[in-house]
Amino acid sequence: MMSQNPNFKHPTLQLLEKCQTLHAIKQVHAHMLTTGLALHTYPLSRLLLFSSAVSIAYALSIFNQIPNPTIFLFNTLISSLVTNGGHNTYSVCSLYNRVLSHQTLKPNSFTFPSLFKAFGSDPWFQHGRALHTHVLKFLGSTHDHFVQASLLNFYAKCGRVGVSRYLFDQIREPDLASWNSILAAYAHSTSTECISSASNGCDSSLSLEALYLFKDMQRSSVRPNEVSIVALVSACANLGALIQGTWAHSYALRNNLKLNRFVGTALMDMYSRCGCLDLAHQLFDQLNERDALCYNAIIGGFAINGYGHRALCLYEKMKIEGIVPDDVTFVVTMCACSHAGLVEEGCKVFESMEEVYGIKPKLEHYGCLVDLLGRAGRLKEAEERIQTMPMKPNAILWRSLLGAASVHGNLEMGEVALKNLIQLEPESSGNYVLLSNMYASIDRWDDVNRVRKLMKDHGVNKMPGSSLVEIGVPCMSS
């Protein structure tokens, strides 16, 4: 057998690790077939792992030629699909079903973590719940940290932070990744559980709990690392808690944690959301590794805080540094142009998306474009963009146009926008109010009454009050 000596690596497998292309993988595969290496589980698992990085289809075709795959090979393929495949959840399901329907195969503790990772988004929630019962069936009350952490993350990603907490409390001696999982769960906190009247999906009390959990972690035997800091800082950013965020920053420095791009991005986001653009920018300069996300954070920070020109400078710097912008880069950069009134620049950025970078504009990019043109009073162009865009415009776009029409006193455009808005959300009174206010502002009271009648005709009969719900931010002592 080939794995008697743990340091032994078959030369063919060494070669396999260097393969960058499908062509090279195929050559090694052919060699493995002729030498009989492809009859053994471990070499096959390496082959699956490396080929899935290049071509999922090829990995699947290799797998389908294996006469009696072991659970080990199923696990290898499932995890490769989850990490390399992106949206292969259907293939992942069918592979897992093959395991279940097999007479002798049984899922083990290595099978579940990748599956929970694959099911960690809303459309797959019910699949993940079913899988949870499989954990109980096949593993009983397991104390496997990997299985427990993957379950915890699954429930958190589907908005069930309470379940995550329950599962975390079941873990006897949480390790670093378990702590980081629960910290991240609270820091990102989009809970669907406790629906309070003021809840809009981002509950600040959950972020606050992340701060308390960090304290608990410090009292435990596990030392926080960079990942822990990222969660802590994100929680502070959500709370707008500058003092605690700054403390987290200094904690990282005191404990010799690295200012990697993850920590850097989280800190920049925190500082800019707290209005400390100078600190965010200082940090940006200190980072010695920067990717598109670092740039997005600082460009977005400048954009939101009204420094459109500085944001654009950084966008240029990014291009000079040779960092390829992603779709978020275009959102934040166009937002910057919009706020600074740099219409031509913003349009150019939009056009360059597809022409230069081959990124198809999404709905939100059209949203930025309409906002950009609308603010500048170029309403006709904005409308044309909405009418000719390749996907169905949503209410946000029409509302943006309605708002712009209102600001620029363009009644015809306002009515066009409203007509479309009413079709998309006929029950929302806010849309009518916008138009009605527009007429009122120029003393066209007949039209105000006409809009009111329109509301009545659509069964919307309440003008909303203007009560803002104050969300009580709890007092923190540090």
Partner DNA sequence: CTAGGGTTAG
- Of 364 and 381, nearer to DNA (C-beta) is 364
Does 41 participate in binding DNA (rule CB under 7 A)?
A: yes
Give the closest residue to 111 by CA, choosing from 135, 130, 89: 135
Cα 356 to chain centroid, rounded:
25
Asked whether the beta carbons of 44 and 66 are under 8 A apart, the reply is yes
Sites for DNA among residues 198-227 (CB under 7 A)? 225-227
Binding mask 338-377 for DNA (x = CB under 7 A): ------------------------x-x-------------
Candidate residues 269, 345, 371, 383; the one interacting with DNA per rule CB under 7 A: 269
Name the minimum Å distance from CB 152 to DNA.
8
* One-letter identity of residue 89: T
Look-up of token digits 């779709």: 327
Give residues 300-329 in contact with DNA (rule: CB under 7 A): 300, 304, 326-328
Burial 307-340, CB ≥16 within 10 A → b, else e = bbebbbebbeebeeeebebebbbbbbbbbbbbbb
Greatest Cα pair distance in the chain: 91
Residue 108 contacts DNA per CB under 7 A: yes
Which one of 129-137, 148-156, 338-346, 417-425 is the stretch in contact with DNA (CB under 7 A)?
148-156
Binding residue (CB under 7 A) for DNA from 236, 266, 347, 372: 266
User: Is residue 99 a contact partner of residue 107, using CB atoms and an 8 Å limit?
Assistant: yes
Please give the Cα distance from 330 to 338 (Å, whole number). Answer: 12
Quote the least distance from Cβ 464 to DNA, whole Å. 25
CA distance 87 to 85: 6
Among 60, 77, 113, 434, binds DNA (CB under 7 A): 113
Minimum CB separation of residue 302 from DNA in Å reads: 11
42 scored as a contact of DNA (CB under 7 A):
yes
| CB closer to DNA, 164 vs 420 | 164
117 binds DNA (CB under 7 A): yes
Geometric angle at alpha carbon 113, from 112 and 119, rounded to 5°: 85
**Binder of DNA out of 82, 92, 311, 451 (CB under 7 A):** 82
**Which of residues 66, 71, 323, 389 is near DNA by CB under 7 A?**
71
Query: What is the radius of gyration, based on Cα positions, of the chain?
Result: 27
Give residues with Cβ within 8 angstroms of 224, minimum separation 6: 179, 214, 217, 218, 232, 251, 255, 257
Q: Could you tell me the smallest distance in angstroms from the CB atom of residue 441 to DNA?
A: 29
Identity (one letter) of the amino acid at 67? P
3 binds DNA per the rule CB under 7 A? yes
Shortest separation between residue 289's beta carbon and DNA, angstroms? 10
Is residue 149 a contact point for DNA (CB under 7 A)?
Answer: yes
Nearest distance in Å: CB 210, DNA = 11
CA angle 232, 236, 238 (to 5 degrees): 115
Q: What is the DSSP string of 229-295?
A: HHHHHHHHHHHT-HHHHHHHHHHHHHTT----HHHHHHHHHHHHHTT-HHHHHHHHHH-SS--HHHH
The reply to whether 231 sits near DNA by the rule CB under 7 A is yes
Query: Which residues would be at the binding site for DNA (CB under 7 A)?
Result: 3, 41-42, 45, 70-72, 75-76, 79, 82-83, 108-114, 117, 144-150, 153, 175-178, 180-181, 184, 187-188, 225-228, 230-231, 234, 237, 260-263, 265-266, 269, 273, 291-294, 296-297, 300, 304, 326-328, 331-332, 335, 362, 364
